[in-house]
Amino acid sequence: MAVRQPPTIRKRRLGAELRRLREAAGMSAPRAAELLGTDRTTISNIESGRFGLREERLRRLAAVYECDDPALIDALATVVGGRRTGWWEEYRGKIPSDFLDVSEIEHHAVRLRTVQTSLLPGLFHTEDHARALFDLVIPRLPRLEVELRVAHRMDRQRVLVGERSIPYVGVVHESALRMRFGTRDAVRQQLKHLLEMSDRDNVDLSVIPFAAGGYPLVGDSVLYAEDVHPRLDTVHVDAPLGAVFIDSPTQLANFRRRLDAVHRMALTPERSRDLILAITREL
């Protein structure tokens, strides 16, 4: 018997939204199951992401829950009807599943926003920079896993430079620019690559200088992935014990406000490029 894979973040996200719709309708899981002609366990499995469902059943659920947002229903239908696998699946079982979840939300996003304090955004890493980072993991990773993580990180970057080239708005702190990983030449090449990426039409990269002082989200590493409908947005926060994914409407709104505040405190993209260039010349 094939081992059932844990639900992907996309499936969990779909299930969470269906649960919210049911709860907003004031309906219990048994009642929803009765109206849908199924059992309570099926509803539970759908809401946890363990069971998939077809578009026809999704729209029936939306009707049962009296959802009056056609755009949201269509967005959920897109999740149901989308590809079942993505390029990241080739890494499943080889690197942490959190890495694959990040790839999945980035792939389906229509815009990405990030704030980084001590590390540069992964979507801008060079191979040498990523390798130097993964070599610092304790306990030390086997060489094969390090190379798999590096390859995965490089593959992630296709969302910015591939056919889609989705919009990206990022803010990094000056400390991330000055943190050195690897050789001096590797650091120099990383900063040059950052400058090249920041010059892309779809990339808006700003820097918060030391002189700006404190700011919201200081110390955090945050990725905000905007979906085709704001109800399906997802926040990824790096945490010491693993990735945290946030999707509650209230918390999403709070993160949007914090990201806006951080962006207002940052230098303009032009002045940010000047600072990056100045730091590069110091090497």
CB 134 within 8 A of CB 149: yes
- Backbone φ and ψ for 67, nearest 5 degrees, come out as -70, 125
* Rounded alpha-carbon distances, angstroms, from residue 112 to 6, 225, 263: 25, 5, 13
Question: In the listed set 81, 114, 145, which residue is the last one of a domain according to the structure?
Answer: 81
Same domain, 31 and 156: no
- Give 10-residue mean pLDDT values along the chain (283 residues): 67 94 95 91 92 89 94 93 80 95 96 95 98 96 98 97 93 96 97 97 97 92 96 91 91 97 97 98 93
Q: Residue 95 domain-assigned?
A: yes
Same domain, 27 and 91: no
Q: Structure pTM? A: 0.93
Q: Residue 242 domain-assigned?
A: yes
Q: Which amino acid is at 93?
A: G
Question: In the listed set 20, 49, 81, which residue is the last one of a domain according to the structure?
Answer: 81
Count of domains observed in the chain: 2
Cα separation, 84 vs 7, whole angstroms: 11
Q: Residue 2 domain-assigned?
A: no
Looking at residue 239, its pLDDT comes to 80
Looking at residue 3, its pLDDT comes to 43
Residue 64's CATH number: 1.10.260.40
Residue 170's CATH number: 3.30.870.10
Q: Residue 266 domain-assigned?
A: yes
Domain residue limits at 132? 87-282
Q: For the chain, how many residues are written?
A: 283
H helices of the chain, in order, are: 9-24, 29-36, 40-47, 55-64, 70-81, 97-108, 127-134, 143-156, 158-161, 174-178, 184-198, 249-265, 269-282
Question: In the listed set 81, 106, 126, which residue is the last one of a domain according to the structure?
Answer: 81
The dihedral through the CA atoms of 121, 268, 112, 86 has a sign that is: negative
Cα separation, 26 vs 238, whole angstroms: 34
Same domain, 65 and 92: no
Same domain, 118 and 97: yes
Same domain, 91 and 71: no
Same domain, 23 and 140: no
Looking at residue 2, its pLDDT comes to 41
Same domain, 179 and 254: yes
Same domain, 23 and 104: no
